[in-house]
Structure 1
């Protein structure tokens, strides 16, 4: 039986140096995503196709929707609250502010309304990254010694978390307790070390399957409950970074991409690298709760 395959088309020609962190903001019916290296927060209003961006004064990798309709920016040395309409930003707390070597990387809100977020070395220093959980306003370190922590996402019932340390090529699954805290050690779940591309960002759909971006391979793969590839989305650019479901019925799969590190001749072959892409696989996403800070 042939593998179900979908093709992603360009949604916004944003040309991010490092597009990351797509998040659907249900209250405003907007998709937000970041250009980490160029310090911009982009947005797309799905109903009207209107787009825009905010210029920031530091690198930001995620804009998580808050219960009050605002956003929490996950930045290189701080977490900040932002009003998406006025653009007003106020610092919420420091985030590895005492470590100039690191910046924020991946993040996603779990089934309990808490935010899992990660750091990595700005020059990809081995073992410089860590994994945290922001639970009711308190930041707790879960794991350190990671290089590029990615693929943070959660099972529909909150029994498991997934993540990867991208250079290892292995996606890990971690059992969670009834409050969403990790139990024991994570276990290997899906191994991509022998395949083209490196595991990057991921999201879970309404059937509990995981959609994983393969950086360098130009595709996003759909994995079943046993970590087997059961579908794929093909892109016309080589560096997809993270998928997210959006749209009124969560029927659209948006994918951020990057042009970071591409030589000039490859950029010429991939002129839309760094854009936001979209596919409609006929499978709906899983609604994610807004972030609770109290």
Structure 2
């Protein structure tokens, strides 16, 4: 990967001092102007209203990795063994369907809504067991398995025209690009697109901007990198914590980049060195994000 120090670099600042064990899944709810993200291991759904600066969280009874805004209102929670409708006004949860409910080894991980209003979502072993994870698509309420044998599925995101999907198995260090048909289903085999196997940090969550570039969190490297159409690093956001997990564009014009982080696996010494690890960070890059449609279940 390109490592030219002259590329554009921004510094991320603390947005919400929430100190999640495993902050993940930032998702902008454009209708309600709220950013949601998850503290997976502590079974919490966090939220921020950027306009007012208010923030808070809901305590749940199971691990959740994404809250996807639904067409018609409310959220769909991607959980460790189920998908559930969630009403943030009264915190009511209603089960929608099972999700690997017969497999106690796994939990949900990365997920994102595609250009067709369908949801790609993944599973992984709770202890990152090798090959325990899978990749799925929830299309009009029906769950279809797309790929198995993954260890830590991440970086799920989509090109503006819906022609490509990206994802990674973090353990491999390689981001893959998959050609999609006109209905958003994969065609053929995914191809290697960006290789981080020989660099510091492991590819984690990702999001696409309005110029078609991919912003990728590098777990363990204290940065989010911006990749061009050829998978080359052209810019970066530096963080004061080492484990960024996923970026997302938010705000009324999608010009603010928020980044979830984690303190999972930290020793007492590491936590002393990075006391705000696991908190939500923000960077103003001046680059606009790509709006995502709400999730359609029918």
Report 1:229-244 matches (<5 A): 229-244=233-248
- For residue 56 of structure 1, the aligned residue among 32, 53, 60 is 60
Give the Cα separation in 1 of the matches to 2:285 and 2:195: 24
Q: What's the secondary structure of 2:41's corresponding residue?
A: coil
1:261 matched to 2:279? The reply is: no
Match 1:273 to one of 269, 274, 277: 277
State the distance in 2 between where 1:253 and 1:78 align. 29
RMSD (CA atoms): 0.6
Q: CA deviation at 1:226?
A: 0.2
> 2: distance between equivalents of 1:14 and 1:29?
20
**Which residue matches 1:193?**
197
Counterpart of 1:79?
83
Offset of residue 201 of structure 1: 0.1
**TM-score where L is the length of structure 2:** 0.98
Deviation at 1:262, TM superposition (A): 1.0
Q: What corresponds to 1:285 in structure 2?
A: 289
Cross-structure match for 2:167 = 163
Distance (Å, rounded) in 2 between the aligned partners of 1:123 and 1:25: 31
SS of the aligned residue for 1:96 comes to coil
Q: Secondary structure at the match of 1:152?
A: strand
- TM-score, normalised with respect to structure 1: 0.99
Is the aligned partner of 1:153 residue 2:157?
A: yes
CA distance in 2, matches of 1:175, 1:126: 26
Aligned pair 1:131/2:135, yes or no?
A: yes
**Aligned equivalent of 2:21:** 17
Q: Deviations over 1:146-189 (max 9, x none)?
A: 00000000001000000000010000000000000000000000
| Counterpart for residue 188 of structure 2 | 184
Match 1:219 to one of 220, 223, 227? 223
Deviation of the 1:67 alpha carbon: 0.7
In 2: Cα distance, 1:91 partner to 1:234 partner: 39
Alignment deviations for residues 256-290 of structure 1 (CA, whole Å, 9 cap, x no partner): 00000011111101010000000011100000000
> Which residue of structure 2 aligns with residue 92 of structure 1?
96
Partners of 1:160 and 1:264 in 2: CA distance: 42
1:84 Cα offset (Å) = 1.1
Distance in structure 2 (CA, Å) of the matches to 1:262 and 1:198: 16
Segments of 5+ residues of structure 2 without an aligned counterpart are none
Query: Structure 1 runs of 4+ off > 2 angstroms?
Result: none
